[in-house]
């Protein structure tokens, strides 16, 4: 073999060593770039929806004050104006009205952008999953969004009862004059706390699907789960009244039992397919 033939083969050998990399195998910098991209997209959705909410502020304000204004006048004061008695919140800070409007739009942006940031969360972890695990992308996003909005709706419709109890508990000689910003903080915490807590069945389901916990273990730990759910409801409920805690704890335990049932069905199908 001549020297010219050997030289002509050397570049070929070098080119063969440069095999294409696995598209799912990402470096640390690539992961950081991907994370930055997902965060930017989530923030963009949040900003766009917040701007829309800022424009539709009057309609949102009516929805927010409805749980309070729907209470009997015996437990809430009315503010007299030249147009007669009406239900209104108050603020004592010159910037209170502007801050309240910003918080309303931010809360609406966070809630209604949940489909986007939940999808971005799933899209970020997808490259590290197998092909079979990626099949759960649509069910994960759909169920996460549904449960988050269901939890927030559950909190909203339980607000009148919880507020009525809290405003009456001080006695007949006391009447609450609610500050607008603190009222919004209370409502926002309730909506977000219920929404996030309703995501627990999703976490539990995927832990069971991944083999971290098994169905028999979940069945044996029913009593411990019930105590933990009640404790969690007491922690995340801003009002700390028993009625609101019960409203949160009851569906969570129902979801716990439903998660066990779903895991049994899914794992049986998975076993049959493997056989």
CA distance 136 to 125: 12
Task: Examine the pLDDT at 15 and tell me if it is beyond 50.
Answer: no
- Report the alpha-carbon distance of residue 40 to residue 120 in Å, rounded: 10
Cα 184 to Cα 97: distance, rounded to the nearest angstrom: 12
Count of CB atoms within 10 A of residue 153's CB? 14
- Over 80: is that where the pLDDT of 7 sits? no
Structure confidence at residue 32 as a pLDDT band (50, 70, 90) = confident
Flag the least confident range among 75-84, 112-121, 157-166, 205-214. 75-84
The residue assigned the tokens 């949102």 is 60
pLDDT at 25 over 70: no
Q: Output the CA–CA distances (angstroms, integers) from residue 207 to 105, 147, 187, 215, in the order listed.
A: 35, 17, 31, 10
At 16, is the pLDDT very low, low, confident or very high (cuts 50, 70, 90)?
very low
Task: Tell me if 9 sits within 8 A of 80, measured CB to CB.
Answer: no
pLDDT for the residue 106? 92
3-state DSSP helix/strand/coil % of the chain, to nearest 5: 75, 5, 20
pLDDT category, 18, cuts 50, 70, 90? very low
pLDDT at residue number 23? 44
**Beta-sheet pairing, 79-81 with 84-86:** antiparallel
For residue 5, is pLDDT > 60?
Answer: no
Residues 6+ apart with CB under 8 A from 218: 204, 208, 225, 256, 259, 260, 263
Domain ranges of the chain: 31-77+89-268
């Amino acid at each position: 073999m001549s020297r010219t033939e050997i030289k002509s083969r050397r570049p070929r050998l070098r080119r063969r060593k440069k095999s294409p990399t696995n598209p799912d195998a990402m470096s640390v910098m690539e992961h950081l770039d991907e994370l930055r991209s997902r965060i930017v997209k989530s923030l963009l959705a949040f900003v766009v929806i917040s701007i829309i909410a800022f424009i539709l502020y009057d309609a949102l304000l009516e929805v927010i004050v409805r749980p309070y204004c729907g209470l009997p006048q015996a437990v809430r004061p009315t503010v007299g104006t030249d147009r007669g008695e009406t239900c209104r919140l108050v603020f004592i800070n010159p910037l209170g009205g502007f801050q309240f409007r910003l918080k309303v739009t931010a809360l609406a942006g966070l809630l209604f952008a949940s489909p986007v940031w939940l999808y971005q969360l799933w899209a970020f972890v997808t490259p590290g999953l197998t092909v079979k695990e990626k099949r759960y992308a649509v069910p994960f996003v759909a169920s996460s969004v549904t449960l988050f909005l269901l939890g927030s709706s559950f909190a909203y419709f339980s607000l009148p009862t919880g507020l009525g109890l809290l405003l009456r508990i001080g006695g007949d000689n006391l009447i609450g004059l609610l500050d607008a910003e603190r009222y919004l903080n209370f409502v926002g915490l309730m909506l977000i706390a219920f929404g996030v807590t309703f995501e627990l069945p999703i976490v539990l389901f995927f832990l069971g699907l991944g083999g971290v916990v098994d169905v028999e273990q979940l069945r044996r730990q029913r009593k411990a789960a019930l105590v933990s759910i009640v404790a969690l409801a007491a922690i995340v409920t801003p009002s700390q009244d028993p009625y609101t805690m019960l409203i949160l704890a009851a569906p969570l335990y129902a979801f716990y039992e439903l998660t066990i049932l779903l895991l049994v069905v899914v794992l049986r199908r998975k076993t049959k397919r493997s056989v």
